[in-house]
Amino acid sequence: MPAAAIGPPDLGDRAECAPGIRLLASPAAGRSDGTSRLPLGPMSATPSATTDAREEYDPEALQEKWLGVWDELAPFRSGRPDDDRPRKYVLDMFPYPSGDLHMGHAEAYALGDVLARYWVQRGFNVLHPIGWDAFGLPAENAAIKRGEDPRAWTYENIATQKASMRRYGCSFDWDRVLNTCDPDYYRWNQWFFLRMFERGLAYRKASSVNWCPSCQTVLANEQVVGGLCERCDSVVTKKKLTQWYLRITDYADRLLDDMALLEGQWPDKVLQMQRNWIGRSTGAEVQFAIEGRDEPVTVYTTRPDTLFGATFFVVAADSDLAAELAAGTPAQAEFEAYLAATKRETDIDRLASDRPKTGVFLHRHAVNPVNGAPLPVYASDYVLADYGTGAIMAVPAQDQRDWDFATTFGLPIVRTVTPPEDFDGEAYVGDGPAMNSGFLDGLHKAEAIEAIIGWLEERGSGRAAVNYRLRDWLISRQRFWGTPIPIIHCPVDGEVPVPDEQLPVELPDAEGLDLTPKGASPLGALDAWSVVDCPRCGGPARRDPDTMDTFVDSSWYFLRYLDPKRTDGPFDPAEANAWLPVDQYVGGVTHAILHLLYARFFTKVIHDLGMLDAVEPFTRLLNQGMVVMDGSAMSKSRGNLVRLSDELAVHGVDAIRLTMVFAGPPEDDIDWADVSPAGSKKFLARAWRLAGDVTSAPGTDPAGGDLALRRVTHRSIHDAARALEDYRFNVAVAKAMELVNAARKAIDSGVGPADPAVREAAEAVAIILSLVAPYTAEEMWARLGHEPSVALAGWPAVDEALLVQESVTCVVQIAGKVRERLEVAPDITEAALRALALATPAAQAALGGREPRAVIVRAPKLVNVVPA
RNA sequence: GCGGGUGUGGCGGAACUGGCAGACGCGCAGGACUUAGGUUCCUGUGUCCACGCGACGUGCGGGUUCGAGUCCCGCCACCCGCACCA
């Protein structure tokens, strides 16, 4: 299916409107308070006098009625040239098109939609786009299974999801849709790759990589979860391969330091996870001479102050250095057997806790630079080849791992940090005065570190150093359904970039290609695609057969939304500077490390290319929780799967959206067994009836209306707004419920349906509900005699005077216990309130004529009388 | 092991910088309307008892304070992330 077939629904020219639909002016432009009122056109319908008891709230009918109207109105198109509203960019993580939307999508998109719609109501020009993260293995696996091109499966699912999103009432700007598997999109992945290649940020190297034997492809460290492939849960093994990397480690410091900009705006948990993942540590590099070797070996340590306590030396068993040191020694055979055994071990084995230390003595010795002591050299798998230098000085007294190794192999242990007197552990890693350490003796950790680094630097045998847990990002994948790497391998010129004007390097048709995983990219087997002339020398050459990790696609997609059809660049820098950074990003915490770190990295690279002012892509981040069932994640095999389409059919779109939003704090998981979509529907019907009961005419001035109800209305609007801006969506909904209850009471047993305050309340309910339950709100708005769309009605202005209570209840405490209540004016003075409180019978009885020990007055809400 | 988080009625959850614990909803109970109720509307609903102007109550134990769900110290339980990163 061609890409055009899945483009945005043709919504027609905005000027051609359905009969009866009147277009509205941009609501809030030019209003300084960010609020607005719709100009009230002539009534399109006479409001019903009272709700007909036989009338029923029918969500299905409302959905049918309003979808077409919204298609015509397109209330959420953004970025038009004549739009002078202030801008806001609200971004939802784009979905992978793996089938229809599920409950998780429903939650995430409901929350994002509430935020986007809220800012529209507040008078902002909100960019709220959507697209599809459309490359990836599931499409390829489905293609293999069905013997089809992955394109067909992918575009079918995109069409399904898109229709579902429209029906779900998402306020997306459908003019900006993008799919990462379109050549128009991935062309720019290739373009960015080439910019990085030019700057040395994309490079190829041979190293031991994570290999998924089932997916038959390499994996980034980030895609290995607990030793298993993130996608298929196969046990990941190691393989030595030459692969493409992006030099994210060059940005480690900036990725860490710029988190200061995100503090308080992103969840602390996510920032902490990123910090841990980058894992910056400071310490020193120390050179150790090796007997019988010309070059010294450098080790990295965070504790150079413990150098006098080094009693042996360990190199990573799978490092080149280990093999070199073992060669020709009596230990060679033993070492080789050990190495072979190590390689058979998977990450799973390595994860076992309390795993005994193993290793091989290499019959070589290193020399401790501080005292000339010979240190036996061991090879062991407890030292990692790819962290630091792959070799360590072992200080068993101050490192538990070294302690374990030392006790296993009978090696000496020398304390060089004095532990506290009550210390009864093994290795002591805390602070304390140095001992057995020559000129360091008596110094505490920080001073000792400084002293020893100075000493090493003077002698040229060491220096201060920083290390990171973060590794460079391995992006090569031996699979078909991804962005081809735009490099041509020429026997003469080596790695030759594809010239920009030849981009995109398009994926060939999968027709006739065997996509079955076999350890090499299927593209390489296709000579018609692979064999090309070298752009430099014109000689025969081959394209790089691999495709990029799909995380490349999602690392910059938020920039492409600005103009997804642009052909002269990935985006327009001027436009990007007008919209970026994204004001609000909404998505799952599952991407707390991978996607967010890569997107931050790309943003910094793009900044360095001079194309973007921003250094961070996402200002605020909201991580929604999961939707679970009966306490555990939904899955077919567990038999607790709840189908979104079923829920929508039974309760309606609005009730499901409301249930998601009202369930609790957005970052908490929702157990579908604990919430009540039927209750949500009941509330929506109650709100909807309210609109039918109003008998005053649209435009009626609320000023003469019932003061008590007006106070509730304005208080509700005010509180709801504050709750929404703090992500307390459930509280905002509760405020709307309170307002509905108050209005109901006013109609049935109070001032009656004709009071202007009743209309004001009903309109406020409609506007607040327009964020959560767009169909119901739109219908309410129409029943109240207004033109669509309520989505653009503008957030109601709050009258501050109505927030002030006529009287407030003051509690009188005796020794901290509430004993009396007083109705007082809100502006009562402390002195007056104190006198009132002391005069109460409770206070008089408690004091019994004596002077109180203390009287705490917090006017106008509380007085605490403390008897002597 | 290291790091982070959470703990409030039968349930989901409220409670801004310490100030009436339990907003709002679900469930449950009772009532009104109704031929009917999987409708609507109203009322009640933390625990205990001696039923009061009562006592107790936010995982457990201490502390600070006139006053603690909120702050401090020490535990317990559960959840998440990392996992031999020297």
Q: Please report, rounded to whole angstroms, the spatial distance between the CA atom of protein residue A785 and the C1' atom of nucleotide B41.
A: 26
Asked whether the predicted pLDDT for residue A2 surpasses 70, the reply is: no
Cβ neighbour number for residue A25 with a 10 Å cutoff: 10
* Confidence bin at A346 (pLDDT 50/70/90): low
Q: Please report, rounded to whole angstroms, the spatial distance between the CA atom of protein residue A11 and the C1' atom of nucleotide B72.
A: 61
pLDDT digits (tens, 9 = 90+) for A64-74: 999 999 999 99
Q: Please report, rounded to whole angstroms, the spatial distance between the CA atom of protein residue A71 and the C1' atom of nucleotide B17.
A: 46
Cα dist from A332 to A297, A363, A446, whole Å: 20, 9, 41
Cα dist from A377 to A114, A290, A318, A415, A703, whole Å: 62, 9, 15, 20, 88
* Confidence bin at A464 (pLDDT 50/70/90): very high
Closest nucleotide (CA of A349 to C1')? B84
- Candidate from A25-39, A134-148, A435-449, A600-614 with smallest mean pLDDT: A25-39
- Mean pLDDT over A342-353 rounds to 66
Looking at the C1' of nucleotide B15, which residue has the nearest alpha carbon?
A731
Asked whether the predicted pLDDT for residue A818 surpasses 60, the reply is: yes
Vertex A831: Cα angle to A828 and A837 (nearest 5):
85
Closest nucleotide (CA of A402 to C1')? B86
Q: pTM for the whole thing?
A: 0.90
Q: Please report, rounded to whole angstroms, the spatial distance between the CA atom of protein residue A835 and the C1' atom of nucleotide B21.
A: 28
pLDDT above 70 as % of chain A? 92
Closest nucleotide (CA of A227 to C1')? B83
Asked whether the predicted pLDDT for residue A209 surpasses 90, the reply is: no
Looking at the C1' of nucleotide B26, which residue has the nearest alpha carbon?
A676
Q: With a threshold of 0.85, tell me whether the complex ipTM lies above it.
A: yes
CA distance A347 to A324: 25
Q: Please report, rounded to whole angstroms, the spatial distance between the CA atom of protein residue A817 and the C1' atom of nucleotide B54.
A: 13
Q: Please report, rounded to whole angstroms, the spatial distance between the CA atom of protein residue A669 and the C1' atom of nucleotide B61.
A: 31
Closest nucleotide (CA of A690 to C1')? B40
Closest nucleotide (CA of A380 to C1')? B84
Q: Which pLDDT score is estimated for A807?
A: 79
Closest nucleotide (CA of A675 to C1')? B12
Closest nucleotide (CA of A314 to C1')? B86
Looking at the C1' of nucleotide B65, which residue has the nearest alpha carbon?
A816
Q: Which pLDDT score is estimated for A225?
A: 72
- Mean pLDDT over A640-656 rounds to 94
Asked whether the predicted pLDDT for residue A696 surpasses 80, the reply is: yes
> Which of A179, A246, A324 has its CA nearest to residue A597?
A246
Q: Which pLDDT score is estimated for A332?
A: 95
Looking at the C1' of nucleotide B54, which residue has the nearest alpha carbon?
A819
Q: Which pLDDT score is estimated for A631?
A: 86
CA atoms in the 13 A half-sphere facing the CB of A704 = 7
Strand B nucleotides within a 7 Å radius of protein CB atoms: 1, 3-5, 11-15, 19-21, 23-27, 38-42, 53, 55, 66-68, 80-86
Please say whether the beta carbons of A682 and A655 come within 8 A: no
Please say whether the beta carbons of A830 and A844 come within 8 A: no
The better pLDDT of the pair A79, A734 is held by A734
- Mean pLDDT over A589-604 rounds to 93
CA distance A135 to A481: 6
Cα dist from A358 to A122, A376, A400, A450, whole Å: 64, 15, 15, 33
Closest nucleotide (CA of A429 to C1')? B86
Supply the mean pLDDT for chain A: 88
CA distance A236 to A778: 53
Q: Which pLDDT score is estimated for A352?
A: 59
Looking at the C1' of nucleotide B4, which residue has the nearest alpha carbon?
A269
Looking at the C1' of nucleotide B23, which residue has the nearest alpha carbon?
A734
Cα dist from A417 to A399, A400, A414, whole Å: 11, 14, 9
pLDDT above 90 as % of chain A? 71
Please say whether the beta carbons of A71 and A65 come within 8 A: no
Q: Please report, rounded to whole angstroms, the spatial distance between the CA atom of protein residue A817 and the C1' atom of nucleotide B73.
A: 26
Residue where the block lists tokens 């940090």: A417
Closest nucleotide (CA of A681 to C1')? B25
Alpha-helix runs per DSSP H in A168-231: 183-198
Q: Residues A589-594: contacts with CB within 8 Å, 24+ apart?
A: A589/A267, A589/A269, A589/A270, A589/A623, A589/A625, A589/A667, A591/A93, A592/A269, A592/A270, A592/A273, A592/A274, A592/A623, A593/A222, A593/A273, A593/A274, A593/A277, A594/A220, A594/A222, A594/A223, A594/A551
Please say whether the beta carbons of A476 and A253 come within 8 A: no
Please say whether the beta carbons of A172 and A774 come within 8 A: no
> Which of A206, A210, A199, A190 has its CA nearest to residue A247?
A199
3-state per-residue secondary structure call for A254-299: HHHHHHHHCCCCCCHHHHHHHHHHHCCEEEEEEEEEECCCCCCEEE
Q: Please report, rounded to whole angstroms, the spatial distance between the CA atom of protein residue A622 and the C1' atom of nucleotide B17.
A: 24
CA distance A657 to A661: 6
Q: Please report, rounded to whole angstroms, the spatial distance between the CA atom of protein residue A662 and the C1' atom of nucleotide B13.
A: 9
Alpha-helix runs per DSSP H in A431-484: 445-458
Please say whether the beta carbons of A693 and A763 come within 8 A: no
* Confidence bin at A236 (pLDDT 50/70/90): confident
Looking at the C1' of nucleotide B66, which residue has the nearest alpha carbon?
A866
Q: Please report, rounded to whole angstroms, the spatial distance between the CA atom of protein residue A269 and the C1' atom of nucleotide B3.
A: 10
Q: Please report, rounded to whole angstroms, the spatial distance between the CA atom of protein residue A824 and the C1' atom of nucleotide B52.
A: 27
Q: Please report, rounded to whole angstroms, the spatial distance between the CA atom of protein residue A680 and the C1' atom of nucleotide B45.
A: 21
Q: Please report, rounded to whole angstroms, the spatial distance between the CA atom of protein residue A657 and the C1' atom of nucleotide B77.
A: 34
pLDDT digits (tens, 9 = 90+) for A746-799: 999 899 999 999 999 999 999 999 999 999 999 999 999 999 999 999 999 999
Looking at the C1' of nucleotide B53, which residue has the nearest alpha carbon?
A819
Asked whether the predicted pLDDT for residue A38 surpasses 90, the reply is: no
Strand partners, A45: none
* Confidence bin at A353 (pLDDT 50/70/90): low
Q: Please report, rounded to whole angstroms, the spatial distance between the CA atom of protein residue A750 and the C1' atom of nucleotide B41.
A: 14
Closest nucleotide (CA of A57 to C1')? B39
Q: Please report, rounded to whole angstroms, the spatial distance between the CA atom of protein residue A722 and the C1' atom of nucleotide B49.
A: 43
* Sheet strand arrangement including A540-543: A494-497, A487-490, A540-543, A531-533
Asked whether the predicted pLDDT for residue A87 surpasses 90, the reply is: yes
Q: Which pLDDT score is estimated for A4?
A: 30
Tokens of A687: 């709100």
Closest nucleotide (CA of A279 to C1')? B85
Closest nucleotide (CA of A818 to C1')? B20
Buried b or exposed e, range A550-587, using 16+ CB within 10 angstroms: bbbbbbbbbbbbbbbeeeeebbebeebeebbbbbbbbb
- Mean pLDDT over A16-25 rounds to 34
Strand partners, A627: A670
Closest nucleotide (CA of A737 to C1')? B24
Q: Please report, rounded to whole angstroms, the spatial distance between the CA atom of protein residue A625 and the C1' atom of nucleotide B9.
A: 24
Q: Please report, rounded to whole angstroms, the spatial distance between the CA atom of protein residue A811 and the C1' atom of nucleotide B12.
A: 30
DSSP A535: T
